[in-house]
Amino acid sequence: MSVVAHRSQVLTLYKDLLHHSSKFAAYNFRDYATDPAKIEALIRKAEQQLEVVKRQSVISQLYGGEKLVVENPKNQKIFRRH
């Protein structure tokens, strides 16, 4: 899945959150669902996770091993059901 697809999914999710949270009758629920501090915290957490993935991918490339059988199509055997 491309980065553009991820961005559009995040934007759609955020728009849906705003749309549906505005339907709460009680102010406290509306406010809780759209609390900018909570949303910012989630964004920071996602950014931290991205940094972890970036570091791990670099380490994986430095110490990469042999490919697994499932990663190399020429080594795969095709089993047929009879």
Q: Which whole number is the average pLDDT over 10-38?
A: 88
- pTM equals 0.59
Average pLDDT, the chain: 83
Contact 21, 34 (CB under 8 A): yes
Residue 69: is its pLDDT beyond 90? no
Alpha helix segments (H runs only) across 2-82: 3-21, 27-33, 36-62
Q: Give the model's pLDDT for residue 34.
A: 84
* Cβ(29)–Cβ(21) below 8 Å: yes
